[in-house]
Structure 1
Amino acid sequence: MKKSIQEKGMLCGLSLISFGAVHSSEVLQAPVELNGILGGSVTFHPEIPEEYHVISVIWILVASQKIIAVIRPDRDITVRDVRYQARVETPNQNYALQIKGLKMEDSGSYSVTVYSDLATMKRDYELQVFQRVPVPDINVTSVEGSSMNCKVTLSCTVKEAGEGVVYTWSKGGENKQVYAGPVLQLSLTADDSRLAYACKAMNPVSEAFKEIRPFVYCKNNMAFGGNGTGNIQRSVLTPIVVGLLLSLLVLLE
């Protein structure tokens, strides 16, 4: 009986010490930010100090305060929340929590509490699940042409990609970014007839790109066509040829 009372006293003392350790860790340590892709997997690492002899590790979904899983040394993981049944495991028995088959609703706050012989450690996490970015669409929203140049406006968009998508533009064949944003305005000349531009759409977990040759849309809006120089050359050469023919006729008379 005395032994039981002593054990309870020790546990109570450990709990009080643990509470203090947990409280200080919450104040001093910012949540670990993690990104996951829809349908993929993500692993939460507790980063337990080597000198800790682990008694148990408890993973919690903060919003509902429900226990997701409990991990103990030399035992299989115990899943408590039915929403995570068959979707969670602990890789290599290292007390980490891996969630598979990620859903959009898995985004949110998580926490882990590690109970050991030395202290109790708590760590918080923020998980954001993103959709995979599809191949973007490039639309030509305006074309203004003249005999010297062509102004083209390109718009890059993706469908059903969710939040967090950003856009960048680069010249075809080059990795150097020329503009950041979904809309690109260009002023092209005949020398740019073969030039391609690529739009890259990306979020923290995936990216996709598409190329376009914008000069194609200029041909009907400029005084030159085909390769971009033919009509200009003809407009200059025709008066010269006519003048030479007239001079020749005068001489023959």
Structure 2
Amino acid sequence: MDVFWIPFLATLMVLHQTMSASDTTEVIGVLGRFVTFRSHNTDKSAAFWNFGNEPILVVGFEDPPQPVFSKDKFQTRFAVSEKGRVLTISQLRMEDAGTYSVIIDGKRSTFTLQVFRELAEPTVTCEAQNCSDGSCSFSLRCSAPGAGLGNVSYSWRVRDQPRDGDSVVLRVNESSLEELEPLTCMARNPVSSRSITVTTPGVLCSGESWGQVGNSGMG
């Protein structure tokens, strides 16, 4: 351990006993992008940034800031600005999720980071079909593949009108498969949204080629 970190860690122990409580800010990040934590503390004192119980860096109240990192692994993707009051993490990874804090003159600001992947294009499959006497009922399932997506919600619409609320499965009853209008499924997670339109839902359940897709993103 660098000689600098011995007094630094001792200082952190003292600060932990004397620092005032603060609210926690929830922050959502996108895998591969960047995220910024901002302290509004204006005291002209050094800033101590931590990830959980692990120190990241210390930086004096100066411009430009000259951070001293606890470990080499933090130097490549972590940077400070505004005299140490702002911490930016670039090229976000899933393992960056967790609790970050900055201590300035005994006052702590805390940030809880969640990291999610952006959604890929969803897929629609025919889950079940039953046709008799010229009438058909069937179920369509919409799903967005991948891990680290967080809570994914689904909704369906015909043209611009919502259909059957929010559900991963849409149940349809029609007198004729050929009469069905195009159906659109929208998948959303905390950082993105993607949609796909089934131009001929009846043909989908017949196992033939189909489809026209459209995508949209959320910042």
User: What TM-score, normalized by structure 1, do the two folds share?
Assistant: 0.66
What residue is the counterpart of 1:238 in the other structure?
none
What residue is the counterpart of 2:189 in the other structure?
203
SS at match of 1:135: coil
Equivalent residues of 1:153, 1:186 under 8 A apart = yes
What residue is the counterpart of 1:166 in the other structure?
152
CA distance in 2, matches of 1:45, 1:103: 20
1:110-121 equivalence runs, <5 A: 110-115=100-105, 120-121=106-107
- The gaps in structure 2 that reach 5 residues or longer are 1-10, 208-219
What residue is the counterpart of 2:135 in the other structure?
149
Q: Which has a greater percent of helix?
A: 1
How has the CA–CA distance of structure 1 residues 104 and 71 changed in structure 2, closer, same or farther, with 3 Å as cutoff?
Answer: farther
Equivalent residues of 2:125, 2:204 under 8 A apart = no
Equivalent residues of 1:136, 1:157 under 8 A apart = yes
CA distance in 1, matches of 2:158, 2:29: 30
Q: Using the TM superposition, give the Cα deviation of residue 177 of structure 1 relative to its aligned residue in structure 2, in angstroms.
A: 5.8
The aligned amino acid for 1:112 is V
Q: Using the TM superposition, give the Cα deviation of residue 92 of structure 1 relative to its aligned residue in structure 2, in angstroms.
A: 5.1
SS at match of 1:89: strand
Residues 52-103 of structure 1: CA distance to partner in whole angstroms, max 9, x if unpaired? 43221111011x4222453532233415132221312234557211111000
How has the CA–CA distance of structure 1 residues 17 and 61 changed in structure 2, closer, same or farther, with 3 Å as cutoff?
Answer: closer
The reply to whether residue 127 of structure 1 matches residue 148 of structure 2 is no
What residue is the counterpart of 2:79 in the other structure?
89
The reply to whether residue 36 of structure 1 matches residue 23 of structure 2 is no
Equivalent residues of 2:48, 2:55 under 8 A apart = no
1:91-106 equivalence runs, <5 A: 91=81, 93=83, 95-106=85-96
Among residues 54, 59, 66, which one is paired with 1:70 in the alignment?
59
Equivalent residues of 2:129, 2:136 under 8 A apart = yes
SS at match of 1:55: coil
CA distance in 2, matches of 1:60, 1:173: 49
What residue is the counterpart of 1:60 in the other structure?
50
How has the CA–CA distance of structure 1 residues 193 and 91 changed in structure 2, closer, same or farther, with 3 Å as cutoff?
Answer: farther
The aligned amino acid for 2:202 is F
Equivalent residues of 1:134, 1:161 under 8 A apart = no
How has the CA–CA distance of structure 1 residues 209 and 106 changed in structure 2, closer, same or farther, with 3 Å as cutoff?
Answer: same
SS at match of 1:159: coil
The aligned amino acid for 2:43 is H
- Aligned residue pairs total 194
The reply to whether residue 25 of structure 1 matches residue 21 of structure 2 is yes
CA distance in 1, matches of 2:68, 2:163: 47
Q: Which has a greater percent of strand?
A: 2
What residue is the counterpart of 1:8 in the other structure?
none
How has the CA–CA distance of structure 1 residues 160 and 18 changed in structure 2, closer, same or farther, with 3 Å as cutoff?
Answer: closer
Equivalent residues of 1:169, 1:197 under 8 A apart = no
Equivalent residues of 2:59, 2:84 under 8 A apart = no
